[in-house]
Structure 1
Amino acid sequence: MDVQAKIMAILADQALLDVSDVTLDDTLETLGIDSMGLVESIFAIEEAFDVTIPFNANAPADSGFDVATVRSIVQAVSALVRERA
């Protein structure tokens, strides 16, 4: 499964955008994804890859899961998928 393509599709769906409008350098803010959208995206990513993302919506900076850009989300999820394998 292509982690990058799947995450970009999940984020595009959440942002109500075409997947071609999502780039690795986008932030959640540039995609128009708010904190509730982030939580929904994380649930969708966890379900899609059968991983548990260490993210605390109440203290995102303390969770150790980098949601700064699409690229950082892809890298973090890729690492979780590798650890699980």
Structure 2
Amino acid sequence: MSVRDKVLGIIAEQAVMDVADVTPDKTLEDLGIDSLGLVESIFAIEEEFDIQVPFNANDPAASDFDISSVEAIVGAVESLVAQQSG
């Protein structure tokens, strides 16, 4: 299973949606994921990939982790995974 598939699965689980409904152009807000759901998603991603996500829950705008869309999250996680294994 690819990084993309795993991230989409985690986001779908948080949104209580079918993974097919989690499309790259959607924002977390579009999917009904609130700030608590976002934090839970970040924790799940960190656990799944054994990475540390540079995310400040108190000030998401100041984070280096792009949460602007599903595609941005996937890209950011893929980058972190690549850095870890590189």
TM-score (norm 1): 0.97
Partner of residue 66, structure 1 = 66
- The count of corresponding residues between Structure 1 and Structure 2 is 85
Q: Deviation digits for residues 34-61 of structure 1, max 9, x if unmatched?
A: 0000000000000000000000011111
Residues in 2 aligned to 1:71 and 1:15: alpha-carbon distance in whole angstroms? 16
Residues in 2 aligned to 1:49 and 1:4: alpha-carbon distance in whole angstroms? 12
Alpha-carbon shift at residue 84 of structure 1 (Å): 0.4
Unaligned 5+ segments in structure 2 are: none
Partner of residue 15, structure 1 = 15
Residues in 1 aligned to 2:17 and 2:53: alpha-carbon distance in whole angstroms? 24
Partner of residue 47, structure 1 = 47
Unaligned 5+ segments in structure 1 are: none
Percent of residue pairs bearing the same amino acid type: 60
Aligned structure 1 segments of 4 or more residues deviating by more than 4 angstroms: none
Q: Which amino acid aligns with 1:11?
A: I
Partner of residue 5, structure 1 = 5
Residues in 2 aligned to 1:20 and 1:5: alpha-carbon distance in whole angstroms? 10
Q: Which amino acid aligns with 2:84?
A: R
Alpha-carbon shift at residue 63 of structure 1 (Å): 1.1
Partner of residue 27, structure 2 = 27
CA RMSD of aligned residues (A): 0.7
The structure richer in helix per residue is: 1
